[in-house]
Each structure stands twice: as C-alpha cells, then as structure tokens.
A and B are shown apart, each in its own frame.
Chain A
C-alpha cells in the first residue's frame, strides 16, 4: 500500500489559496514567463503552507494559527475610485491604487518612467524579469510565494541615471472596504546610477474589516544613487498586512529605509537588504506604535557582501495594552566585506504590563576586520523624566505623550525629508492623543 505522507493537514486558508488560484490563474496578468513563475510559486505554497512557529524565523509570528481565513484576491473592480487620506497634504507625485484596481498614474515626470505592473508583466526584458524573480536573502517565504502567485497590481518605477526628483513620489494603496479581499501588490523600484528619489509607500483601509494586504516591493539602488524609502502602514484595525521589501544597494549609494507601522491587527515585514558595492550606506530606521491586541513583526536581513559599507538599524517599538512587537534582525558580514560597520539596535517602550516585545538580533561575521554590534532595550517611561515635566506644570497624560513622541523621534529624524517627518510625527501624535483621551 502506498501511503502519501503530508507534513501537515492543509488548513482552511491553504486550501482556499489553491482553490482561489485555480479560479483566478487564467485572468492574472503576465506573459507566459509570468504564468510559469506563478504556478511554481503556487506549488511551493501548497507544499509548505502558511509559515508557522516551528520555522525559526516565524517563531514569534505563527501565521498558521493567526490566519483563519484567506480572503479571495481583490476583484480589482470593487470601486476603482477614491483618494488616499494618508499623507495627502504632502506635495508629491502620486500613484494611487484603490481596492487592488489599476494604478492611477501621475503626470509625466522628467527622467522617470512609471508604468503599471500589469503593463510591465505583459512584456518583460531580462533585467526586469530578474527583478521580479530574484530577491536578496531574507525576503522569501511561503507568504511571499503567495504574492508571486497572485500579484495583480502595483507600480513599476524607473528613475533614470543622474535624475533627481523635485518632490517625493508617493505610491498610495487605499482599501475602501467595498470588499473583504486580499490585495496582492508587487512594486518594482529602480533607482539608476547617480539618481536620487524620496519614495513613500502608504497603506490605509477601514476599521472593522478583515481584509488582507500581501505586498512586495523590490528595489535596486545604483552606484552613487540615493533612495529614501518610507513605508507607512495605516491599515484598519482588523486587517492583516504581510510585506516583503528587498533589494540591493550599489557602490557609494545611500539607502534610508523607514518602515512605520501603526495599523492592522497583524503585520509582518520581511526586509532584505544587500550591499553589492563598496562604500555604501544603509540606514534602516523603523517605528511601530501598537495598542489593543495588535501584533507587528519586522524581520530584517542585512547582507554585507562588499567591503567598507555602513549599515545602521534602529527600531523603535511603542507597545500599549496587550500589543506584541517583534523585531528580528540579522547582519551577515561575508568574507570579503572587510571594514564593515554594522550596528543594530531595537528599543521598546512598554506602556502596559500586558504588552510584549520579542527581540532577536543576530550577527554572523566571516570577515576579520569589522565593527559590528547589536543591542536591545525594553522599558517603561522614565519616572524621573515624567516627574521633571510634571514639576513644570505639565499634566501627567501630556507628559507621557511628549515622552512617547520623543522616544520615536530619533527614528523619524533619519528620513531626511522635513515634510514627511512632520507628517509621520503627526500620525504618532494622533496615536498618542487617542491614547491620552482614552486614559482621561
């Protein structure tokens, strides 16, 4: 007798994914090379299922337990209209994607090509294919495979060599709540040699709706280019947000990556960053502000492949009520990456006894002449600071609010764009004010 042994019984979401793929595969965008990519990814997902706690990197974020239902992929036709509320006051070139529909593209920007994912997948020169299918270490997972299988909308942005934009480029994803769906987005961001871009990617959606976002952004930063990449996640309070952000940085280039997570019931960012040329600088400065029973996880892999690069990872978590934050970071320094300067720090501010923070920073070093370190701290608001502020007549709740905003300030400051920093401070301030008003 031939017994087929499965590693696990397929759960609801896993069976749903297979069925959804069968139903939708024919209509998903892309030439034949894309179709192959999709079915390969789907097969891997069917084999592995959702990531679970027995997989080391998913120890603290067990999706198999947490995700009971996998909403169908967005129809793309639910609304098609709508404007982002998020960061709308920022002067920017804007690409808006509503409910997984076709991107609304901005007017022509000199030196920049913006197309929809759909258009790009229909063709696909080898370099572009490469960006779709190969990613640096640290990003791939079965969740990411789902993204490859279902990627339906997104933007492809190319900033040509030596171009500097007059204002930021803002890619805004809006869920209107017209359907409880999964948005599968895939974005490609190419910053060619010597170019400079400030890029903001935002997500927003209504409370009370268990929609999902499964998004992946692949970037590549050319030699001596600059990319400031801000990700703002303001999804609704029941949303699930799963993201991959990854790419490589060329020689002498500068990347500032700033993920800011404030929404969603459950979110996970997998970030993979690789230094492909010497003398590059990578600055990852993340913030998460969580309350209720929110769970947010950022897992980071920094790959120092080439010598003399600097990486800084600073991650600030503010945790209230029963929220749970996770930060996992790995700095890998390969044999040839001499003179690497890599520092990673995770700091958590616990506003409630019931909140939880899990830190897992790691170093793996194969070069002998490097300066690397990591650290993690967790603690409550400092009593002496609170007393100092109160002794000047500042009410306790306001003093707390000031100190919470001060705690994340260092991470926001790394963005280097005053308007965006101010806007993010504004969201932090709102978060703190809501908390304060609830307390009073």
Chain B
C-alpha cells in the first residue's frame, strides 16, 4: 500500500528563519493522526507547506502525496488531488458570496479532474445535505465568505467546505480553538462523518479535548520543528497532564 502522505526529513524556512528541522511523518489511508505541540513549534507551518503557500521554502527533504512529489504542484493542483487544509485563521473574503465560492471551488476541481461540472440544483443538494449535517444555516451561505462570521462560524464554514469538497487528505489546523463545547461536538461529528477507509486526517491541536471527540490512531508531538515523540491516543492524555515543558527543554 502506498502511503497517502509521506514526509521525509523536511526542512522549511520562512523569511530565512528555520522553522521545520527534519520532520518525518507517514500517514496511510484511513488513519487519523493528531499532531500536538506548543505554540510556535511549527504546526501551522507544516499545514501551510502541505497546501503550497509561497513564502514557505522547502530547503531539504521531500513531501510525497500519493507517491507524487508535492513540490511541483500549485496550491490549486494539490486541492484537485484531494488535499484540504482547514485553516487556523480562515480569512474573510468580502464581496464573494460563500455559495459562489463553494460552487466555483467544487466545479473548478471537477473540471480539473475531467468530471462534469455540477448544475446549480445538484450543487444545492450537495450543499444542503452538508449544511444540515453541520447545523450550518443556509442563510449564512448567502453572506460573503467568513465576513463578519464569529470565530466558531468560521471554523464551521471550513468544515462545511471540507464536507462539500470531499478531499482525501484533511489537514485540520486548530479547528477546535475558539469553539465552545457544543460547537466542538458539532464540528467533531462533521469530521467523524467524513472518516472512511480511503480518507486520512491530520488533526493539529494544542489541546487534548478535541481528541476526545475525534479519536486519533496515532499521536505525534511536534517541538522545535521536529516530531519528537509518537504514540497512541493515550499520549494525548499524558500530555494533558504533564504539559509540553519536557519537550521544550532543550
């Protein structure tokens, strides 16, 4: 079986500052990996590098997605290939209705894959089903993307996009931050509904509580740009008790 994601000795610099220093990670289809780590350890950097943000320079190492080198792919090509990042801080896009955005995204992906674009009614069916599952008010879809949304609404909107786009590798960057316990449950249910044998997830979080709802197969600790420990779901509980101090001490 080919790993869905294979990261080998990854070094990344941002503005000449070394952020990731030899990171290794293998994620197979069907698996859910949690990446935990203190603030500033490089979690979001990893997420951005995976989705292809410029300014993030890979100076060493390799990222293989489904056996293919990601370095050669534009952000939109990665999305078409099935990679999705739920942003830690989703941006507001004033003037672009969420509905237009979603339809353009879905149909751009379909077109790029050589599939037929969805008609408006078919698209509406897909969105309505996803929105219902996530308790997402359809009226919000008429509003511009994330504009004026609360922190929780933004996170929910990210998961809605994920549900509509049906990616193969979902990277969730601190999707739990800013959510109250009810919202956390809704979002977690939404994510769990997408779990499948073909799909893998990388759940980045600072706290353990999300992992009560999205139960990971593997937990990694990221510190100073490297994975410093890997274990089962109990590792998260341990971290909750002892904190990250042990990993941060040099």
Contacts and interface: CB of A to CB of B under 8 A. Distances in A.
Interface of A: 383-385, 387-396, 398-399, 402-403, 405-410
Nearest to B110: A393
Contact of A389 (B54, B94, B95, B101): B101
A405 B104 CA distance: 14
B93 A410 contact: no
B231 interface: no
Interface in B62-105: 74-76, 78-80, 84-85, 87, 90-91, 93-96, 100-101, 104-105
Contacts of B104: 394, 398, 402
A393 B109 contact: yes
Contact of A406 (B74, B84, B96): B96
B51 interface: yes
A392 B79 contact: yes
A323 B94 CA distance: 25
Contact of A390 (B75, B87, B93): B75
Of residues A388, A398, A405, A410, which shows the largest number of chain B Cβ atoms within 10 Å of its Cβ? A388
B42 to A, nearest CB: 19
Instruction: Please list the 4 inter-chain residue pairs (A to B) with the smallest Cβ-Cβ separation, ordered nearest first.
Output: A406-B95, A393-B79, A409-B95, A392-B105
22 contacts: A385-B91, A387-B53, A388-B93, A389-B101, A390-B52, A391-B53, A391-B79, A392-B76, A393-B79, A393-B112, A393-B165, A395-B108, A398-B104, A402-B101, A402-B104, A403-B93, A405-B95, A405-B96, A406-B93, A406-B96, A408-B95, A409-B95
Contacts of A388: 87, 90-91, 93
Contact of A398 (B79, B87, B108): B108
B76 A396 contact: yes
A390 B95 CA distance: 17
Of residues B87, B91, B109, B144, which shows the largest number of chain A Cβ atoms within 10 Å of its Cβ? B91
A390 B79 contact: yes
Given A402-B96, A403-B96, A410-B95, A392 B165 contact: yes
Contacts of B95: 403, 405-410
A366 B108 CA distance: 55
Given A391-B51, A394-B108, A398-B108, A406 B94 contact: yes
Contacts of A395: 76, 108, 112
A408 to B, nearest CB: 8
B21 interface: no
B161 interface: yes
Contacts of A399: 76
A424 to B, nearest CB: 14
Contact of A393 (B53, B91, B96, B108): B108
Given A387-B53, A402-B96, A406-B144, A394 B91 contact: no
B76 A394 contact: yes
Given A405-B95, A406-B96, A394 B53 contact: no
A408 B94 CA distance: 10
B234 to A, nearest CB: 33
A410 B144 CA distance: 11
Given A391-B52, A393-B80, A394-B105, A384 B75 contact: no
Nearest to A387: B53
Nearest to B83: A391
A402 B95 CA distance: 9
A399 B91 CA distance: 14
A407 B81 CA distance: 30
Contacts of A391: 51-53, 75-76, 78-79, 84-85
Nearest to A413: B95
Contacts of A393: 76, 79-80, 105-106, 108-109, 112, 165
Contacts of B109: 392-393
Nearest to B89: A384
Contacts of A389: 93, 101, 105
Contacts of A392: 76, 79, 101, 105, 108-109, 161, 165
Contacts of B101: 389, 392, 402
A418 B28 CA distance: 50
Contacts of A410: 94-95
A384 B74 CA distance: 15
Contacts of A398: 104, 108
A405 B144 CA distance: 12
B76 A390 contact: yes
A30 to B, nearest CB: 47
Nearest to A392: B105
Interface in B105-134: 105-106, 108-109, 112
Nearest to B102: A392
Of residues A384, A385, A390, A410, which shows the largest number of chain B Cβ atoms within 10 Å of its Cβ? A390
Nearest to A408: B95
